[in-house]
């Protein structure tokens, strides 16, 4: 059985490039360009892993992650974000602290521009 | 011949006048007045004068008043007398000493009494004690000074708070801009990076390798620029905590050692004197500055020859000074003044933001950063920081 992956990123080219690699690696890959759409897909289908961007329309990455964890959806989450990571912006407004708490519920966080080889390795690791 | 009636009337009138005169004399006696001249000294001394100075009439008569009362005039007595002889009077303030040794300030009025021929006969000196008044005056003027100082201090504090506020606002604007730009650029950069990976994967063509290698290199460089830009977003009001500068230095020197391991740069430390010293500072910001300066030093030295020396010492006045010295290539004298300008760089891969950020961060800590350099000999960066967070 092929492992089922979902990429949630509003950057269409990004989705295309990654899914291209992941398909060649033998994964079954779907895409969503909107947070709400992505969340719905996660709730309706059994995915093994989701690659989640933070700054996306509809519902942002934090909200998607929060919904997934609160509803005990069994899926691994890798956060892929170009947003400055919390550690890079120490002393940000309070909302960052709350967001950091949510971020800790992810299985892995990678900053853009990420090294795709590392993403592949991490994906494999989480699904093994 | 006058009638007995007339005699009676005159006698009565004389008596009446006598009573009046006596009454006037008694009243006059109450005034704080004495009469004197230069030859005979004090010739008349009223009860009022006795009450004021404590000297009895017997003690006072015949004495020179300025000797008896140790008068301290605003100008020499001779000059005052001259004024009195010419203008018939003088007014002013005198400091005199009472019998019990206490000094008093009096408002003094001198009037010249002349004989029928107009020649000066005596001086009538009338004094009233204004010591308390003078004290009140002094206290008032002191209060006024203190009050003015208080108002000035408060005004200064307000202006400084206002400036700090504007500065914070400006910094947070720059920070937000930098963070936004960084994020927006990282996304497309991520796509490019992944797309390049896909090209490499699918083509497997050695002829393309060097080109692809160049693209990958440039992507990493762009990423570095974005990281530096993010350094700008870290410029914000320091979040003060008690930190041990010694430990922060230790941490940063270790990072630098590791980073320049291949270059065999020797890092020496002379920081023992501040080992137990605490200071108020933002741990992240101080680390950022030190990392930056150490990085510059490591880059400036030659492979295998580099020596970077970090010293720290208390500088008195509640300040600590750090120097980071390298034996590297040095800086052109004409470049020294521009080192802290944003985007000024002589490095092939520099953003020119490193030292700009350093200076901003040190300024936010109310410290100083100075750079001295000699071409081909090396550079010394001196950072001075207050140990305690200054009040606004």
- Tell me the per-residue pLDDT of B113-138, one tens digit each, with 9 for 90 and over: 988 888 888 999 999 999 999 888 88
Q: CA B274, B279, B285 angle in degrees (round to 5)?
A: 110
Residue B223 has pLDDT above 70, yes or no: yes
b/e per residue, B87-124, with b = 16+ CB within 10 A? eeebeeebbbbeeeeeebbbebebbbeeeeeeeeebbe
CB distance A82–B179 less than 8 Å?
no
Which of A59-63, B82-86, B341-345, B372-376 has the weakest average pLDDT?
Answer: B341-345
Q: What is the mean pLDDT of chain B?
A: 87
Average of per-residue pLDDT across B99-104: 93
Residues of B in contact with A113 (CB under 8 A): 186, 189-190, 192-193, 219, 223
Residue A108 has pLDDT above 80, yes or no: yes
Average of per-residue pLDDT across A99-118: 82
Residue A111 has pLDDT above 50, yes or no: yes
Which of B26-30, B43-47, B88-92 has the weakest average pLDDT?
Answer: B26-30
What digits encode the pLDDT tens for the residues B266-285? 999 999 999 989 999 988 88
For residue B183, give the nearest of A13, A83, A91 by CB distance: A83
Structure tokens at A66: 């929060």
Q: State the pairing for strand pair B266-270/B103-114.
A: unpaired
CATH classification number, B31-129, choose in 3.40.190.10, 3.40.50.300, 3.30.450.20, 3.30.200.20: 3.30.450.20
Which of A20-29, B14-23, B160-169, B206-215 has the weakest average pLDDT?
Answer: B160-169
Sheet strands side by side (includes A49-52): A28-32, A4-8, A49-52, A76-81, A108-111
Average of per-residue pLDDT across B185-195: 88
- Which residues, 6 or more positions from A100, have their beta carbon under 8 angstroms from its beta carbon? A86
Residue A92 has pLDDT above 50, yes or no: no
Cα of B150 to nearest chain A Cα, Å: 35
Residue A95: which pLDDT band, with cuts at 50, 70 and 90? very low
CATH number of A4-127: 3.40.50.2300
**CA distances in angstroms from B67 to B70, B71, B95, B105, B162, listed in the order given:** 5, 7, 12, 16, 62
Gap between the Cα atoms of B213 and B193, Å rounded: 11
Residue A98: which pLDDT band, with cuts at 50, 70 and 90? low
Domain boundaries, chain B: 31-129, 138-237, 238-392
B-chain residue closest to A53, CA distance: B187
> Given this model, what pLDDT does residue B124 score?
93
Residue B233: which pLDDT band, with cuts at 50, 70 and 90? low
CATH architecture label of B138-237: Orthogonal Bundle (1.10)
> Given this model, what pLDDT does residue A82 score?
67
ipTM above 0.90, yes or no: no
> Given this model, what pLDDT does residue A94 score?
38
Name which of B213, B194, B189, B219 is nearest A22 in CA terms. Answer: B194
Residue A89 has pLDDT above 50, yes or no: no
- A40 or B179, which is more confident? A40
Residue B349: which pLDDT band, with cuts at 50, 70 and 90? low
Q: How many residues does chain A have?
A: 128
> Given this model, what pLDDT does residue B360 score?
86
What digits encode the pLDDT tens for the residues B293-313? 999 999 999 998 899 999 999
B-chain residue closest to A110, CA distance: B190
Average of per-residue pLDDT across B362-389: 93
- A47 or A88, which is more confident? A47
CB distance B186–A89 less than 8 Å?
no
CB distance A113–B236 less than 8 Å?
no
Q: In A1-128, where does DSSP find H-type helix?
A: 12-24, 35-44, 61-70, 94-103, 116-127
Residue A96 has pLDDT above 70, yes or no: no
Which of A1-10, A81-90, B61-70, B155-164 has the weakest average pLDDT?
Answer: A81-90
CB distance A112–B190 less than 8 Å?
yes
> Given this model, what pLDDT does residue A66 score?
92
Average of per-residue pLDDT across B342-353: 73
Residue A6 has pLDDT above 60, yes or no: yes
Residue B112 has pLDDT above 60, yes or no: yes
Residues of B in contact with A96 (CB under 8 A): none
> Given this model, what pLDDT does residue B103 score?
92
Residue B205: which pLDDT band, with cuts at 50, 70 and 90? confident
CB distance B223–A113 less than 8 Å?
yes
Name which of A28, A50, A55, A54 is nearest A40 in CA terms. Answer: A50
> Given this model, what pLDDT does residue A88 score?
42
Average of per-residue pLDDT across B239-265: 91
CB distance B190–A114 less than 8 Å?
yes
Gap between the Cα atoms of A98 and A95, Å rounded: 5
For residue A17, give the nearest of B186, B195, B223 by CB distance: B195
> Given this model, what pLDDT does residue A40 score?
95
Residue B10 has pLDDT above 80, yes or no: yes
Would you say the C-alpha torsion B47, B52, B57, B63 has a positive or negative sign? negative
3-state secondary structure at position B304: coil
Residues of B in contact with A112 (CB under 8 A): 186-187, 189-190
What digits encode the pLDDT tens for the residues B72-81? 999 998 999 8
Residue A120 has pLDDT above 50, yes or no: yes
CATH architecture label of B238-392: 2-Layer Sandwich (3.30)
């Amino acid at each position: 059985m092929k492992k089922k992956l979902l990429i949630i990123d509003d950057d269409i080219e990004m989705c295309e490039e990654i899914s291209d690699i992941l398909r060649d690696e033998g994964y079954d890959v779907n895409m969503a360009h909107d947070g709400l759409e992505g969340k719905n897909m996660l709730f309706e289908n059994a995915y093994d892993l989701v690659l989640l961007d933070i700054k996306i329309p509809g519902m942002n990455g934090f909200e998607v992650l929060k919904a997934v964890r609160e509803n005990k959806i069994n899926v691994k989450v890798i956060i892929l974000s170009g947003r400055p990571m919390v550690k890079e912006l120490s002393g940000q407004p309070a909302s960052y602290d709350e967001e950091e708490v949510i971020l800790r519920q992810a299985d892995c966080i990678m900053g853009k521009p990420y090294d795709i080889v590392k993403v592949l390795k991490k994906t494999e690791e989480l699904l093994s | 011949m006058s009638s007995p009636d007339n005699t009676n009337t005159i006698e009565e009138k004389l008596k009446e006048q006598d009573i009046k005169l006596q009454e006037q004399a008694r009243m006059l006696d109450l005034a704080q007045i004495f009469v004197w001249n230069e030859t005979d000294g004090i010739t008349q001394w009223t009860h009022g004068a006795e009450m004021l100075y404590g000297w009895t009439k017997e003690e006072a008569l015949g004495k020179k008043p300025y000797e008896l009362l140790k008068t301290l005039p605003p100008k020499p007595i001779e000059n005052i007398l001259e004024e009195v002889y010419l203008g018939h009077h003088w007014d002013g303030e005198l400091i005199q000493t009472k019998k019990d040794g206490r000094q008093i300030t009096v408002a003094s009025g001198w009037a010249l009494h002349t004989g029928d021929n107009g020649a000066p006969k005596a001086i009538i000196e009338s004094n009233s004690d204004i010591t308390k008044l003078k004290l009140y005056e002094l206290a008032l003027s002191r209060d006024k000074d203190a009050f003015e100082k208080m108002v000035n201090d408060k005004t200064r504090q307000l202006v400084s708070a206002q400036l700090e506020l504007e500065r914070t606002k400006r910094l947070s604007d720059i920070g937000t801009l930098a963070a936004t730009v960084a994020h927006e650029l990282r996304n497309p950069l991520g796509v490019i990076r992944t797309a390049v990976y896909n090209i490499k994967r699918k083509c497997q063509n050695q002829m393309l390798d060097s080109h692809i290698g160049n693209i990958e290199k440039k992507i990493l460089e762009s990423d570095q620029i974005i990281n530096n830009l993010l350094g700008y977003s870290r410029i914000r009001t320091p979040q003060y905590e008690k930190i041990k500068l010694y430990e922060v230095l230790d941490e940063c020197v270790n990072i630098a050692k590791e980073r320049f391991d291949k270059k065999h740069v020797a890092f020496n430390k002379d920081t023992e004197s501040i080992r137990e010293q605490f200071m108020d500072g933002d741990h992240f910001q101080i680390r950022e500055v030190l990392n930056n300066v150490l990085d510059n030093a490591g880059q400036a030295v030659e492979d295998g020859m580099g020596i970077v020396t970090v010293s720290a010492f208390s500088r008195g006045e509640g300040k600590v000074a750090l120097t980071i010295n390298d034996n590297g290539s040095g800086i052109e004298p004409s470049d020294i003044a521009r080192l802290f300008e944003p985007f000024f760089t002589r490095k092939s891969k520099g953003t020119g933001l490193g030292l700009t950020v350093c200076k901003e961060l040190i300024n936010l800590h109310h410290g100083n950063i100075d750079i001295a350099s000699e071409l081909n000999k090396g550079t010394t960066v001196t950072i001075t920081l207050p140990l305690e967070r200054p009040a606004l």
